[in-house]
Amino acid sequence: MKPTMFIFLSLMTFFASCKQETPVAEAAPAAEPAVDMAVVKAEIQAFENQWADATNKKDFTALMAMYADDAVSMPDDSPILSGKAAIEERLKKDLEKAKDKSMISFETLDVYGDGDIVTEFGTSTVKDEKGAVVSTGKYCAVFQKTDGKYLCIREIYNGDAPSK
């Protein structure tokens, strides 16, 4: 009986020594601070206010400074426009058709993102010189923060009225 006990204890010792150690869990990297989307929304609304001001003044230099060089625009009733030159050409045509005293405004409804890349959903309103609403629309824009400021990298917009 002693040899059986010796073999049993030897096997138990052997199997116990074969047990793998459980690796110690590495500490998770520190989480990035949460982005305050209310602050981002306010920044994007300020951007849209500048956009409206530049549009109303027909200040193409200011407008084009708000686009990234490789921006893509998908305007109403138009093919996709790639790059600043194509976007500027379209904006000039659109603003030439606009009545001199009409004013556009934008309202940021919501923003999503991480603070560096932000998607915005909003509405636009054009009013005549008397303040009467001439047209309304909606848009979606994607912004990238570059050197501390947002630039439009993608946009799509269209009017609420049916196309003629």
pLDDT tens sequence across 21-64 = 656 667 667 666 789 999 999 999 999 999 999 999 999 999 99
**Tokens coding 44:** 């994007």
Q: How far is CA 73 from the centre of its chain?
A: 14
Residue 13, φ and ψ in degrees, nearest 5: -65, -45
Domain boundaries 37-157, corresponding CATH code: 3.10.450.50
Domain positions in the chain are: 37-157
Q: Cβ contacts of residue 152 below 8 Å, gap of 6+?
A: 66, 67, 68, 71, 141, 142, 143
Q: Give the model's pLDDT for residue 11.
A: 47
Length of the chain: 164
- What is the C-alpha to C-alpha distance for residues 59 and 68, in angstroms, rounded to an integer? 17
